[in-house]
Structures are given as structure tokens and as C-alpha cells.
Amino acid sequence: MFPVARAAQSLVARGIQHTAVRQAHRKHEPTFHDKYGTMVLLGGATMFSAVWGYVLTQLKIEWGFSPVGRVTPTEWRE
């Protein structure tokens, strides 16, 4: 049984070597991320910055952190 196992292992190893050699010699075709990845990232960062820049500067947001001294209680009505 030992020679059969050794032969099977040899065939598996040879198949892996052939696959690795075949993939190493194949030309690498650029994918979508290779072609446009940086531009998509920069475009997203620009949109993110523009939207949050507008939100933080143009909307009338009250930036007070504590309501103490600004909120006056009203009289209780029964």
C-alpha cells in the first residue's frame, strides 16, 4: 500500500506544480480595481468631504454642549 500512496502523492504534487507554472506564465489582465480603484477612492473621499463640509458650515446647527443656563423651566399648569 505504501508505493500506491507515494504515487498518489507524487501525482498530486505534480498537478499543483503544473498549475502554479501555468498561472505564473499567464499575462496579468488588470481588473476593475486595478484600473479605477484609486479614482473611485478619491471620488468617494471628495464627495464625503464635500457633503460633510456643507453640513458643518451651512446648516444652522447649535453647537452649545450644555443647556444649563439657557433652558428656563415653565410654570406647571394643572
Does the pLDDT at position 9 exceed 90? Answer: no
Q: So where are the chain's domains?
A: 1-59
1-59: CATH topology is: Cytochrome C Oxidase; Chain K (4.10.51)
pLDDT at 26: 65
Stated length of the chain: 78
Which position has the higher pLDDT, 42 or 68? Answer: 42
Pairwise CA distance, residues 16 & 6, whole Å: 15
What are the grid coordinates assigned to 11, written together? 501525482
Confidence at 67, pLDDT banded by 50, 70, 90: low
What pTM was computed for the model?
0.43
Mean pLDDT, rounded, of the chain? 78
**Secondary structure letter of residue 70 according to DSSP:** T
pLDDT (mean) for 19-45:
81
DSSP-derived secondary structure for 2-68: HHHHHHHHHHHHHHHHHHHHHHHHSPPPP-HHHHHHHHHHHHHHHHHHHHHHHHHHHS-----S--T
